[in-house]
Amino acid sequence: MEKEKTILVTQSSMPSLDEYMEEISPIFESKWLTNNGEKHQQFEAALKKYLHVKNLTLFVNGHTALHTALSAMEFPSGSEIITTPYTFASTTHAIVQNGLTPVFCDIEPENYTIDPDKIEQLITDKTVAIMPVHVYGHVCNVDRLTNIAHKYNLKVFYDAAHVFGVTYRKKNITEYGDISMLSFHATKVFNSIEGGALVYRDQNLKAKFDLLKNFGIADAENVVATGMNGKMNEFAAAMGICNLRHVNEEITKRRRIHDHYMQQLGGVNGLILPKEQADVVSNYAYFPVIFDPNRFSNNRNDVYARLSQHNIFARKYFYPIITDYACYREKYNNGTTPIAKWVSDNVLTLPMYADLSLEDIDRICKIILEK
């Protein structure tokens, strides 16, 4: 039998080799490779323009950005941050690495984002902030979250790693909340190989973030904070500049793929597909499908295994939930977030990238629907 073509869950977007070569050629003349070089400055400016935001700071990756956002706040150790367990390791790690305590709130079943109805009961006199996650390109209920934050005087830090370019009511989603973290990792809708950024409301934070991402070095003889090395290098910035030129086109292609999946899988009993949100323009970052074990003929693990046998690699994302990680399960009880647990046990994200062909989608869907 002929070996079946391999389809991975994602494939990184890249410019042409010529375009990238042209972008990096000045670096070979300047020999300035990192530390706020010319490409770094150009990329930061280009992103602000693209996202229509005033305050943005680049980082070497999204996680370092999120870590730095929290450390810049200088919250007392042991302060509590309300977040969800339905996310990637980074969100919780950033909280714990800063000596803060994550408090896990359940998600709502429509969009897999934090459930605003369950937040207030978790607030204590140690709560300092909420860290919700915009999941898959869906956005959190930012209006309700803003109200809760005002009522209790809490900060809101969004993990916005999945929502590059997404708008809500015609505003970039990073305009909501105090700080949002974007990731430009190779697997995201938009990448700079590795990379990330913070977008924030308070312009005074710029100097602090720039300090903290460079070891806290204020000048040649003064180190004033316990910072880290969070700087983006010139080659990554050059990749970001190139990819930014094509990102709208990439998102348009993703929408076509999303629509084709919806056509093939829509209306099948027991499959829960992504839903459109009012006033949101999505980036179609992922195509999550829930295989309801009581209503669909095969459970998630069976579908995953069957796709793998055909060299198609979907992803159990997010699975397991954070509170089931070996490093956290002794400390936290996952019984308090039953919806997150259920979604995590039954979800697969299907292959999704701009250059995935419609024929490949047909092949994937046929295997999923085989009895």
Ligand X SMILES: *Cc1c(COP(=O)(O)O)cnc(C)c1O
Residues at the site binding ligand X, with contacts judged by CB under 6 A: 61-63, 87-88, 90-91, 133, 159, 161-162, 183, 185, 196
Minimum distance from residue 47 beta carbon to ligand X (Å): 14
40 to 43, 69, 75, 109, 248: CA distances (angstroms): 5, 19, 30, 40, 21
Minimum distance from residue 72 beta carbon to ligand X (Å): 17
Do 13 and 243 meet the contact criterion of CB atoms below 8 Å apart? yes
Q: Which two tokens stand for residue 316?
A: 């159990």
* Of 75 and 318, CB closest to ligand X: 318
Minimum distance from residue 87 beta carbon to ligand X (Å): 5
* Of 63 and 315, CB closest to ligand X: 63
Do 227 and 216 meet the contact criterion of CB atoms below 8 Å apart? yes
Minimum distance from residue 66 beta carbon to ligand X (Å): 7
Bond into 164 cis (ω within 30) = no
Minimum distance from residue 361 beta carbon to ligand X (Å): 23
SS3 of 231, please?
Answer: coil
* Of 247 and 368, CB closest to ligand X: 247
Q: Which two tokens stand for residue 346?
A: 């039954």
* Of 75 and 112, CB closest to ligand X: 112
Minimum distance from residue 5 beta carbon to ligand X (Å): 27
Q: How far apart are CA 161 and CA 182, in angstroms?
A: 4
Angle CA 37–39–42, to nearest 5: 110
Do 46 and 190 meet the contact criterion of CB atoms below 8 Å apart? no
Q: How far apart are CA 62 and CA 74, in angstroms?
A: 19
DSSP letter, residue 233: P
Q: How far apart are CA 167 and CA 133, in angstroms?
A: 15
Q: Where are the beta strands (DSSP E) in 63-144?
A: 80-83, 101-104, 127-131
* Of 113 and 183, CB closest to ligand X: 183
Residue nearest to ligand X (CB): 62
Minimum distance from residue 135 beta carbon to ligand X (Å): 7
Going by C-beta distance under 8 Å and a sequence separation of 6 or more, which residues neighbour residue 368? Answer: 265, 289, 303, 306, 307
* Of 138 and 341, CB closest to ligand X: 138
